[in-house]
């Protein structure tokens, strides 16, 4: 996998759905099934200000949406069921 700098990403479109056993460094040891797009088309800028577009699929789409969610102020738990979310919150000692 190639590492990329993606600055100010904006989602253009998403396609399909996939379920993924997702976790987060902010919640060590907690994994829940999340529903994420199978494919994400986005635009962004480079460090030099150049405007570009990209597409990620599969597990890379999950990772992209996970990190994009952090930029939007949300955790991965908003993309799961209430039951899974309550399980995770109990395990984190927040419920």
Question: Which positions are catalytic?
Answer: 67
* HSE-up of residue 67 (Cα within 13 Å, Cβ side): 14
CA 2 to chain centre: 17
The residues facing 33 across adjacent strands are 21
Q: From CA 41, how far away is CA 43, in angstroms rounded?
A: 7
Report whether 72 contacts 79 (CB < 8 A): no
Report whether 42 contacts 11 (CB < 8 A): yes
């Amino acid at each position: 996998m190639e590492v990329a700098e993606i600055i100010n990403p904006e989602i253009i479109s998403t396609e399909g759905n996939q379920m993924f056993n997702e976790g987060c460094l902010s919640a060590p040891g907690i994994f829940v099934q999340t529903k994420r797009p199978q494919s994400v088309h986005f635009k962004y800028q480079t460090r030099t200000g150049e405007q570009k577009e990209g597409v990620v699929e599969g597990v890379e789409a999950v990772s992209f949406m996970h990190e994009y969610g952090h930029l939007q102020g949300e955790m991965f738990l908003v993309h799961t069921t209430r039951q899974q979310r309550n399980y995770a919150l109990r395990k984190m000692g927040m419920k």
